[in-house]
Amino acid sequence: MSQLETAMAMTIAVFDKYSKMQGNTRTLTKAELKTLLEKELPNFLSAGKDKDNLDKIFKDLDNNGDSQVDFKEFVTFVAALTCCCHNYFEQKGAR
Ligand SMILES: [Ca+2]
């Protein structure tokens, strides 16, 4: 697989790993999202450590308001976060 294909497959694998932990295996609960953020985004987000922040992120991600984060909602978040990182590195002139 190419680098981008690998990144896409990894994004799917990460979502599956955490969505399978409890309840509906195709969506993330708030607890699953918390674990995912803590384990997979420890450098980019501090949401896992801050309950208010976690509540806000969960609410922002749960676009259709069903108290679950599905893959589409998750991947939109990853894309938005990737854009922020891209802007950040561009400003830093690190690329
Ligand atoms: Ca949802």
* 8-state DSSP, 68: S
pTM of the model: 0.86
| Position 78 pLDDT exceeds 70 | yes
Region of poorest pLDDT, from 9-18, 23-32, 46-55, 79-88:
46-55
DSSP 35-89: HHHHHH-TTT--GGG-HHHHHHHHHHH-TT-SSSEEHHHHHHHHHHHHHHHHHHH
Q: How far is the CA of 93 from the centre of ligand 1 (A)?
A: 36
What is the CATH number for 72?
Answer: 1.10.238.10
Summarised one tens digit per residue, pLDDT across range 36-62 is 999 999 887 765 567 888 999 999 999
CA gap 95, 91 in Å, rounded:
9
Q: How far is the CA of 32 from the centre of ligand 1 (A)?
A: 13
Task: Please tell me the predicted confidence (pLDDT) of residue 58.
Answer: 95
What domain range includes position 16? 3-92
Contact 27, 64 (CB under 8 A): no
Q: How far is the CA of 92 from the centre of ligand 1 (A)?
A: 35
| Position 71 pLDDT exceeds 70 | yes
Helix axes 30-40, 51-61, angle to 10 degrees: 110
Q: How far is the CA of 69 from the centre of ligand 1 (A)?
A: 4
The candidate with the shortest Cα–Cα distance to 22, out of 11, 9, 33, is 33
Summarised one tens digit per residue, pLDDT across range 20-31 is 999 999 999 999
**In the chain, how many domains are there?**
1
